[in-house]
Structure 1
Amino acid sequence: MNINHARTVVFITGAFVTHFGWDAWKDYFESKGFMCLAPPWPFKDAAPDVLRQRHPHDIELATLTLGEVIDHYAAIVQSLQEKPIVIGHSLGGLITQVIVNRGLAAAGVAIHPVPPLGVIPYEFSFLRAGWKALGLFTSLRETYLMSFKDWQYAFVNGMPLAEQQKAYQANVIPESKTVARGGLTRVAKVDFDKPHAPLLLTSGSEDTIIPAHLNYRNFKRYAQNGSVTEYKEFAGRNHFVLGQSTWQEDADYILAWLARQH
């Protein structure tokens, strides 16, 4: 499939963090000739400190569902004149896989993605890092905000304390528990046997919340049906991969991979 005509990139943000984490990526891809969009989730179009001030009583965000987030991005993609390249991180990587599965993208890149339904995330570090977001035995009408301690484990492990703190203040925002729970429902399902546009899944050796082993099992579920499905593990990357000092190396790899899809 020739995707050289696809010059628009839609970046899709994951859970717990602001869409502003894509800013450097947008600038970099635009410098390479792409038009880039990094739209926020519904009810998240504000600065992180503003969104944190609304916690936990932001009822609109608290009651947001994963299906609504997926449809939000699908509508954006479908509003464009041509099918775009879709690049998503974490839960945004799952949404990317769903959009590719629906035939709406020219190509997709899922960076450390949450796996679709059917890939059981039994890895201990995933369970330890992510279970609180489900909000078991708490009100679904209140948002969840990741603590700094959990942020250290789930996103920025291995980084100096000052960098962890700076990243927390700049990125962490309240989350919908219903969105987190949506990953366990049929809305998170893809047809692994269906032919699809080129799809790249990436992982990081130091990622705890979405460990490389889980990403590889996600990749292996796709049928060998002639569609391009590729996997790449990067050494030294944690889940804060978009903001690590190595982010441009990852972006260059993705750009080179996209250039080969013709």
Structure 2
Amino acid sequence: MSGSQGRPVLFVHGLWIHSDAWEPWVQLFRQAGYDPLVAGWPGDLATAAQTRADASGLGGVGIQAVTEAYEKIARNLPERPIVVGHSFGGLVAQKLLAQKVASAAVALSPAPMKGVTKLPLAQVRSALPVLKSKANRSRAVALTRRQFRYAFGNAVTKAEAGELFERWAIPGPGRPLFEATEAKKDPNSPTAVDTATADRGPLLIVGAGKDHTVPEVVARQAFGLYERNARTDYEVFADRGHSYVFDSGWQEIAEHTLRWLQETSGSHQG
């Protein structure tokens, strides 16, 4: 959805979460004078409930297909958008920035790019519902309430985690997790990001200290892979988990993102 005539901001959700979870961000960014745009992954349906009822279109969708879908949206906008992404959406945001499709990017607990070698046990456990079966590479896989609590809602109350699960959780394609796991051995991995691009816009990477799905050390290593020939910043929210983008504390993250964008606005025009 797109509203005002401000700078466009394209929001990219991650695995297992419906794009409607961005709605509070959309309202906040619109109030701040931006023109926010939300779109789902290829295969997502209009609502979380509809996607849960029929996730057949998500089977086999990989990182490249997701990236190309958002690239198409971005190139059809009147100017290069700011791209804000969470989890695998954060990886997509970095790829679009490196390709100069985005004018600036914010990667919130981004899924690991090629070159990230840290693999904490919590990350393995969070991905296990997909990686335990090779057949899941071509399937859409749903998390159970308990798995969602561990992977996303470990830093909020059990009650809130349950509410988030009911409201936003959807099946996700298994392929992106297999692609991330295979990145080291794949010379053409879709997780690759050009971290040496000198004339890209500014990038903010954010880590969450209690994140199980993308542990903070993984986000920090991604930040460390960038050459400092373009602005690259890193921020940690020590007491937050992977749900921090859409749980009851979302506004702290969104307002920090807004402040950073406003601070760097002179270096990512057009």
With normalisation by structure 2, the TM-score equals: 0.89
How far the C-alpha of 1:135 sits from its partner, in A, is: 5.1
Matches within 5 A, 1:43-192: 43-54=43-54, 58=56, 60-134=57-131, 136-138=133-135, 140-183=137-180, 184-185=182-183, 186-192=189-195
Amino acid at match of 1:74: E
Q: Distance in 1 between matches of 2:6 and 2:233?
A: 19
Given candidates 254, 260, 264, the residue that maps to 1:251 is: 254
* Aligned-residue offset at 1:49: 2.1
**Higher deviation after alignment, 128-137 or 214-223:** 128-137
Whether contact under 8 Å (2:138, 2:175) holds in the other structure is no
State the match for 1:213 in structure 2: 217
Listed one character per residue, the Cα deviations across residues 139-183 of structure 1 (whole Å, up to 9, x for unaligned) are: 544321111111111100032222111110111111111232233
Kept in 2, the 8 Å contact 1:107–1:198? The answer is yes
The alpha-carbon distance between structure 1 residues 39 and 161, as it changes in their structure 2 partners (threshold 3 A), is: same
Would the alpha carbon gap of residues 19 and 128 (structure 1) be closer, same or farther in structure 2, given more than 3 Å must change? same
Residue 240 of structure 2 aligns with which residue? 237
Amino acid at match of 1:234: F
* CA RMSD, 1 decimal: 1.7
How far apart are 1:46 and its partner, in Å? 2.6
Aligned mates of 1:197, 1:19 — CA distance in 2: 25
Contact 2:136 2:175 in 1 (8 A): no
Residues 141 and 229 (structure 1), Cα distance of their counterparts in 2 relative to 1, 3 Å cut: closer
Q: Deviations over 1:73-111 (max 9, x none)?
A: 011111111111100000000000100010111110001
Q: Secondary structure at the match of 1:187?
A: coil
Letter in 1 for 2:107: A
TM-score for the superposition, normalised by structure 1: 0.92
One-letter amino acid of the structure 2 residue matched with residue 245 of structure 1: S
The separation in 2 between residues aligned to 1:174 and 1:50, in whole angstroms, is 11
Query: 8 Å contact 1:207–1:238 — kept in the other structure?
Result: yes
Structure 2 unaligned regions, length at least 5: 184-188
Q: Deviations over 1:39-92 (max 9, x none)?
A: 01111023222222225xx1x311222211110001111111111110000000
Which 5+ residue runs of structure 1 have no aligned equivalent?
A: none
**Which structure exhibits the higher relative contact order, with contacts defined as CA atoms closer than 8 Å and separated by 6 or more residues?**
1
Equivalenced residue count is 254
What is residue 186 of structure 2 aligned with on the other side?
none
Q: Match for 1:94: what amino acid? A: L
Residue 164 of structure 2: SS of its match in structure 1?
helix
- Give the secondary structure class of the aligned counterpart of 1:63: coil
Query: Which one-letter code corresponds to 2:262 in the other structure?
Result: A
- After superposing on structure 2, the runs of 4+ consecutive aligned residues of structure 1 that deviate more than 6 Å are none
* TM superposition shift of 1:19: 0.3
